[in-house]
Structures are given as C-alpha cells and as structure tokens.
Structure 1
Amino acid sequence: MKKFFINIPLLALCTTLTVVSCNTSKNLNTNLPKDISERPADEDSQKYEQAQLDKIKASIESEALKEKCTDASEWTFAPMGAKACGGPQQYVAYPKKIETTLLPRIEDYTQKVKTFNEKYNITSDCMMLIPPTSIKCIAGKAMLIMAEQ
C-alpha cells in the first residue's frame, strides 16, 4: 500500500512534465527565415519577375476598367510599358477623375518594364506604336480610336 502512494505523486510528476514539455515546443521564433517550401522556386528568375509585372499590369487595367464609360470627354489615355527598342508597349484608357492615383502607377510599371528589359536583354519587334487619336464609349467601355479607324 505504501508503494501505491509513492507511485501516484511520481505518475503526477511525469504527467505534468510531459504536458509542459509538449506545450513549450509550440513557441515559434518569428526571426527564423521562411521555410523553403513557402518560397517560390524561381523567386530570382526572369519568369518570376515577368509574373510580377503581369500582376501590376492587370491591376492597372482592372482599375481603369472599373468605371463605365458614358462620356468620352471624361476619359483620357496614357502610354504604358516599354518596348526594348523604345516606345510604349500599349496605350491604356482611364477616367480623368482617377488620373492622380493611376498615372503614377502606370509610370512606375513602365520604369519596371524598362529595368526588366535591360536586366534580361529583352528584344522586341521595334515597331512603333501609333498613339490613339481619341476615345469612344462603346457599350459602357472606353475604346481607343486609332488614326486608321
């Protein structure tokens, strides 16, 4: 009977130590580097940087397209992107009321494309893109009108 009373505190002590030791392993050190499985495989590659540029471009285009075009005089356009030989990759139409927020993003994107082109020695078709002459609202969307249209 005496051994039985000695085993109970010993069992309680072992149980307490087990619970405490399991609980302390949950403390995470936030200063540790990210797990390699969470990092994109090609973070420093041309493909990764192109994907980042594509995201920025899509974001700019979607912001410009949020507004319905009802009056073409309330819209304008700007060159966007950069060809390796020089000149813009495209023109984008956007409402004048968001010009102060959108234009710096377009310029930032264009500069990033220029840097990308230089870094990876990108070549392009070197065809000059003619700027649009005006904007028309067709079915609620702003359409860029070129000289030949």
Structure 2
Amino acid sequence: MKRILVLFLVLVTTIFAEVKTELTSYKVLVDKDGVKSKVEATEATPGDIIGYNFFISNGTEEALERISPTIPVPAGTTFIPDEGDPKNYLVSINERDFSPYPIMQDGVPVDDSQYRLVSWNIEKLEPGESLNLEIQVKVNGGVN
C-alpha cells in the first residue's frame, strides 16, 4: 500500500510541475514631471505607449535549455528599442530571421516601425527560476 501511495504522490507532483508563461500588457503614462507609471491597457489611441511583459517560470525538476521566448510587435505600432529588457534581445522584420538591433538594409538602419518580433536566446532556466522579459511600443497614427 505504501508503494502505491508513494507512486501516486510522484505522479501527482509530476502532473502539477510545469512551465508557466504569461503575456500581459499595460499602458505607460507620463505625468507633467516626466514620471512614468503603468496602468491597465483597456484601449489605446495613436501616440500611446503600450508595454508587454512576458513572464516564464520553470516549475519542473529539470533545467529548460536553449529557449527563445518571443513577444510580437503588433501591426500599427512602432518598437521602442531603448525599453527592451533585458537588453540582449534580437529583432525580426520578417517573422523568421532574427538579428541584434538594429537590422541594417543597404547600410541604413531599418525603421523601428518595421520590427514584428522581439526574442531572447535563453541558454538555461533552472528549476524554480523565473524570468521577466519586456518591450514597449508606440501606437502609430495609422495601420502599418
């Protein structure tokens, strides 16, 4: 009976140990003194700054290796490169190939409104570790 109970507990632990991810958004407000605050993003208008936070937590008993969490840059927005965190991100303009920021075409940096994805190469996320990744975008006046 004890063996069955121990086996059951191991199975239950395995079932509930998981990798958790969550992507949330917020609006950035700047007061008259230049102090930034984050509020719930229920709607956006041209010129608004919207932030995206990607949270990943390793609830397994093994390290996650060589993962590439990615945050999409919505159409109609412009990526704000100084707000990417951590700073070692990669960007894509074609949703397939990734390069360090900025991507150059014919010796000229691609306009920030052309970026579609932001990604990070994470070598290892140990059991019990979590990570927050963040980008911000500015809502354009029209659809890109």
Which structure shows the bigger proportion of residues in helix conformation? 1
TM-score above 0.5, yes or no: no
Q: Where on the TM-score scale, by shorter chain, does this alignment land: which range?
A: under 0.3
TM-score, with structure 1 as normaliser: 0.25
TM-score, with structure 2 as normaliser: 0.25
Q: Specify the structure having the higher radius of gyration (Cα).
A: 1
Greater length-normalized contact order (CA 8 Å, ≥ 6 residues apart): 2
